[in-house]
Amino acid sequence: MQKYQSILDQLPYQHPFLFVDEITEIDLNSIKGSYFFHNQHDFYKGHFKGFPITPGVILTECAAQIGLVSFGIYLLKMEGKSTKNLNCVMTSTEIEFLKPVFPNETIKVEAEKQYFRFNKLKSSVKLYNSVGELVLKGQISGMISTEKHE
């Protein structure tokens, strides 16, 4: 079992929409994690014919699941707040795509906290491909709620 398994266990996602394999580092200011984009993902079947690449919206989601949601769970815990009934909503993104990510490629996500207050987190994110090239950079913001919704 990996060191940060408790954070992964609290993510509000499951296969096929879970885009976090591991968290490798985390502290009050930053997080690092990774995900392997297996060639069997359904989105590769139609994006693009004969030359599949990972859709930008999926790369953005991967960045958000690591740099916003996983990070937010950690920061809430560090403030002594409960992470039960976790709900997350992305409120804004400003993303620049620099290179494609291909099937069967592992990406690494690095995020730095810009601010975290009143359960709103803004992170600066970067994604690197399997050879260490920067493929995405930008800012992601979201609200993290632990209120029970019925």
Q: Can you give the CATH number for the domain in which 84 is found?
A: 3.10.129.10
- The number of folded domains in the chain is 1
Q: How many helices (H) and strands (E) does the chain have?
A: 3, 6
- 27 in any annotated domain: yes
Rounded Cα gap, residues 44 and 101, in angstroms: 11
The burial class, CB within 10 Å (0-12 / 13-18 / 19+), for 64 is buried
- Is residue 6 very low, low, confident or very high in pLDDT (cuts 50, 70, 90)? very high
Write the CB contacts of 115 (distance below 8 Å, at least 6 apart in sequence): 121, 122
Q: Is the pTM of this model over 0.75?
A: yes
Sorting pLDDT into bands at 50, 70 and 90, what band is 150?
Answer: low
Least confident of 15-19, 83-87, 115-119, 123-127: 83-87
Per the CB < 8 A criterion, the answer to whether 30 and 124 are in contact is: no
Question: Domain for residue 150, yes or no?
Answer: no
Average pLDDT, the chain: 93
Quick check: 149 pLDDT over 60? Answer: no
Q: Which domain holds residue 65?
A: 5-145
One-letter amino acid for residue 90 of the chain? M
42 in a structural domain? yes
Q: Is residue 138 part of a domain?
A: yes
Contact criterion met (CB below 8 Å) for 12 and 69: yes
